[in-house]
């Protein structure tokens, strides 16, 4: 059977671990750096959230996608659909989190309410019904119930059904369950099986939203029998949008049912695409529409995928599995498990998840550590090459007649002065580029904020005279979160990309001039390789670092864009206004909301752009160090010493030849090390 997504991820991590250990073995990095990289590999978590309404086949999908076995039972009611987090454990086991005493009191209060008192309000009806069912089932725990509240409980994997099964002993008080499973590919992975949005149990819904904010990928599972109905639209447009999720994948599960009734895969997919497009036009959320426009619905059958993974003896001994096997074999003309998997299309969805994961994780988990390792290797290589160049010059210099030494001394001094001037000029050129980047970036960010504020102002102006202020707070909060977590993040990422490209132009021109100066005044120096090494190191620095940082709340520098977003979101939250709208008349409510929008409008979200100038300082410092401090100044000191101590020329010549031979052997060794590193890719 082909590797699943998680096995591929673990294989990639294993290669990174091997890269890191070899880098330490080669002396490219020290023990501390090795430890930092390995800890990052171990601690990084890939979070995939699976959402959708009940009966869409989420449990079967997860059984195939994660366990490759029938582990999770299907939830039968909203109350029994517990939030589950699946991750790695050395041994199978579970940890359940129970409701707190306060949360349980809230459920008892909800259960005491009359459904008739909220007739017509579907959300309130659901809360009351779920609470009544929950309190009723809690009688199984008797007088011991209170002793569990607010606690966590570890248990054996075999007792999972007691926490997530419809008739489980603890189902009534279980808020979430973490399932530990000894599959290597689950290391560093969390699969969040959400109980569904519009969860009638408020505290559980809040936990779901908290997980979704951290998700690298969100999979919305639809039921092919009635794909993208009103409930699905609510899940996507009223709930996912509030979580700041910028990646949404859509699976149409149980496609085999309409297929069996004569619908083609294309028809099934196009129907969902049409419904999605129609819903996007009606939602007036331009930014959510933007992330959905490239969402390609994927028809699949989780049941068929699971059948392809279970042993045939298990399939044949289970009446439901056996029936499903025969039905699908007839419908799709299948003769074996490989064909069953192919027709399930589970791999199509897995590949879509993989692309999202690589987009989100490649930068942090894989590319940056690899780049830093290669940069360390290149640093060692460049040091050796620099030493070779210096000793070649020394061999040539010690071999020169005395009358030529003074001319060489003068040429190195001239090179030093000219290079110093060119470095100063480089600083001015980079400044000019950065000013333009900051100016255009500020305009772009301010325009994005202004556009969002205008949309919020328009919604406030449409507030009816008898509408509560609180009635539009969710919409305004969603607009703010979208602005912060998607629009500004996307804008800044694009500004960073442009900045990285544009800042390289003056650097490239400068290095060409450096090469010309070195070739003119120090002709026996290998200036081409030297300049290419500097260019490579600066490129690594530019690509590997954040271009924009800002001080965080503790005053530390180097606070990333995520911290900026967090601070901005706290300052712009409409959540602070909740619960106060009814106390104000209509005019005051509108004025108050407009005032809050103006606070958002006046927030300086472009402040982090100014920190780009620190990148200029880093570049100039590196250039000075590599060219002046590590090359020209040592050459100047050595030629001065040679002129002063001409009597020691023969002895110094032999020392330089010996050092040159040693460094040339070291260069061969480093090239072999790079070759061994490339074997791991």
User: What is the tens place of the pLDDT at every residue in 528-570?
Assistant: 888 888 888 888 777 765 555 543 333 343 344 444 444 554 4
Which residue do the tokens 């070291």 mark?
Answer: 666
d(CA 201, CA 197): 10
Q: Is residue 77 within 8 Å of residue 125, measured between CB atoms? A: no
Q: Is residue 158 within 8 Å of residue 94, measured between CB atoms? A: no
Write out the two tokens for 527: 């200036």
Q: Is 75 helix (H, G, I), strand (E, B) or coil?
A: coil
d(CA 453, CA 476): 9
d(CA 52, CA 231): 9
Q: Are strands 83-88 and 152-155 parallel, antiparallel or unpaired?
A: unpaired
Write out the two tokens for 69: 């076995």
Q: Is residue 369 within 8 Å of residue 38, measured between CB atoms? A: no
What's residue 641's pLDDT? 84
SS (H, E, C) 336-403: CHHHHHHHHCHHHHHHHHHHHHHHHHHHHHHHHHHHHHHHHHHHHHHHHHHHHHHHHHHHHHHCCCHH
Q: What is the pTM of this model?
A: 0.55
Q: Is residue 518 within 8 Å of residue 527, measured between CB atoms? A: yes
Give the end-to-end CA distance of the chain in Å, rounded to a whole number: 23
Q: Are strands 189-193 and 83-88 parallel, antiparallel or unpaired?
A: antiparallel
Q: Is 88 helix (H, G, I), strand (E, B) or coil?
A: strand
Q: Is residue 62 within 8 Å of residue 72, measured between CB atoms? A: yes
Closest C-alpha to 300, from 362, 240, 359, 257: 257
d(CA 410, CA 227): 81
Q: Dihedral, CA atoms, 167, 172, 175, 176, nearest 10 degrees?
A: -20
d(CA 471, CA 496): 38
What's residue 652's pLDDT? 85
Which residue do the tokens 């509560």 mark?
Answer: 468
Q: Is residue 242 within 8 Å of residue 474, measured between CB atoms? A: yes
Closest C-alpha to 100, from 179, 174, 193, 192: 174
What's residue 565's pLDDT? 46
Burial 620-640 (b: 16+ CB within 10 A, else e): eeebeebbbeebbeebbebbe
Write out the two tokens for 47: 């979070």
pLDDT less than 70: residues of the chain: 1-6, 43, 75-82, 123, 196-214, 216, 238-246, 283-291, 356-368, 464-470, 544-586, 608, 680-681
Burial 432-452 (b: 16+ CB within 10 A, else e): ebbeebbeebbebbeebbeeb
Burial 325-339 (b: 16+ CB within 10 A, else e): beebbeebebeebeb
d(CA 426, CA 620): 8
Q: Is residue 189 within 8 Å of residue 44, measured between CB atoms? A: no
What's residue 244's pLDDT? 52
Q: Dihedral, CA atoms, 660, 664, 665, 671, nearest 10 degrees?
A: 160
Which residue do the tokens 């003056």 mark?
Answer: 506
d(CA 457, CA 611): 32
Q: Is residue 66 within 8 Å of residue 307, measured between CB atoms? A: no
d(CA 239, CA 247): 14
d(CA 648, CA 663): 22
Q: What is the DSSP string of 310-329?
A: S-HHHHHHSHHHHHHHHHHH
d(CA 558, CA 548): 8
Q: What is the DSSP string of 43-68?
A: H--EEEEEE--TTS-HHHHHIIIIIS
Q: Where are the alpha helices (DSSP H) in 57-168?
A: 58-62, 101-111, 122-137, 145-148, 161-164
């Amino acid at each position: 059977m082909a590797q699943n997504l998680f096995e591929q991820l673990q294989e990639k991590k294993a290669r990174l671990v091997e890269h890191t250990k070899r880098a330490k073995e080669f002396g490219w990095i020290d023990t501390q750096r090795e430890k930092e990289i390995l800890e990052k590999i171990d601690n990084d978590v890939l979070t995939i959230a699976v959402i959708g309404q009940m009966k869409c086949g989420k449990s079967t999908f997860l059984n195939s996608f994660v366990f490759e076995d029938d582990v999770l039972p299907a939830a039968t009611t909203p109350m029994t659909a517990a939030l589950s987090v699946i991750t790695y454990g050395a041994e199978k086991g579970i940890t359940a989190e129970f409701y707190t005493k306060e949360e349980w009191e809230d459920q008892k209060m909800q259960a005491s309410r009359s459904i008739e008192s909220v007739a017509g309000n579907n959300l309130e009806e659901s809360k009351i019904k779920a609470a009544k069912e929950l309190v009723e089932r809690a009688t199984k725990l008797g007088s011991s119930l209170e002793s569990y509240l607010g606690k966590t409980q570890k248990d054996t994997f075999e007792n999972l059904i007691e926490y997530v099964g419809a008739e489980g002993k603890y189902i009534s008080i279980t808020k979430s369950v973490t399932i530990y499973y000894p599959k290597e590919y689950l290391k560093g992975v969390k699969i969040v099986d959400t109980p569904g949005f519009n969860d009638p149990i408020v505290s559980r819904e809040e936990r779901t939203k908290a997980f979704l904010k951290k998700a690298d990928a969100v999979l919305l599972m639809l039921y092919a029998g009635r794909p993208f109905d009103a409930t699905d639209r609510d899940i996507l447009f009223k709930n996912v949008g509030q979580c700041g999720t910028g990646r949404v994948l859509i699976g149409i599960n149980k496609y085999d049912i309409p297929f069996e009734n004569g619908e083609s895969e294309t028809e099934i997919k196009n129907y969902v695409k049409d419904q999605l497009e129609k819903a996007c036009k009606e939602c007036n959320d331009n930014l959510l529409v933007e992330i959905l426009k490239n969402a390609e619905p994927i028809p699949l059958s989780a049941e068929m995928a699971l059948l392809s993974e279970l042993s045939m003896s298990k399939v044949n001994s289970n009446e439901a599995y056996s029936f499903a096997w025969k039905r699908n074999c007839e419908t799709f003309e299948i003769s074996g498990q490989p064909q069953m998997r192919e027709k399930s299309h589970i791999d199509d969805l897995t590949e879509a998840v993989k692309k999202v994961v690589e987009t989100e994780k490649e930068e942090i988990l894989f590319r940056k550590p690899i780049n830093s390792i290669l940069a360390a290797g290149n640093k060692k290589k460049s040091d050796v090459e620099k030493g070779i160049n210096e000793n070649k010059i020394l061999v040539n210099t010690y071999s020169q007649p005395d009358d030529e030494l003074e001319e060489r001394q003068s040429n190195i001094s001239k090179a030093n002065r000219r290079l110093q001037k060119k470095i100063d000029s480089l600083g001015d050129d980079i400044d000019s580029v950065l000013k333009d980047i900051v100016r255009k970036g500020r305009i772009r960010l301010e325009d994005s904020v202004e556009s969002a504020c205008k949309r919020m102002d328009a919604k406030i102006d449409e507030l009816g005279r008898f509408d509560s202020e609180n009635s539009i707070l969710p919409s305004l909060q969603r607009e703010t979160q979208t602005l912060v977590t998607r629009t500004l993040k996307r804008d800044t990422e694009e500004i960073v990309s442009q900045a990285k490209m544009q800042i390289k132009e003056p650097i490239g021109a400068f290095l060409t001039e450096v090469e010309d100066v070195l070739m003119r005044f120090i002709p026996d120096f290998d200036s081409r390789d030297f300049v290419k090494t500097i260019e490579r190191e600066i490129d690594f620095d530019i690509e590997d670092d954040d271009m924009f940082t800002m001080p965080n709340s503790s005053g530390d520098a180097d606070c990333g864009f995520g911290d900026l977003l967090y601070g901005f979101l706290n300052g712009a939250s409409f959540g602070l206004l909740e619960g106060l709208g009814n106390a104000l008349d209509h005019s005051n409510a509108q004025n108050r909301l407009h005032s809050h929008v103006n606070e958002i409008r006046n927030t300086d979200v472009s402040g982090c752009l100014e920190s780009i100038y620190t990148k200029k300082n880093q570049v100039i410092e590196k250039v000075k160090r590599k060219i002046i401090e590590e090359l020209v100044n040592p050459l100047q000191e050595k030629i001065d010493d040679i002129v002063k101590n001409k009597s020691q020329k023969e002895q110094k010549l032999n020392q330089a030849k010996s050092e040159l031979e040693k460094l040339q052997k070291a260069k061969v060794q480093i090239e072999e090390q790079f070759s061994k590193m490339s074997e791991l890719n």
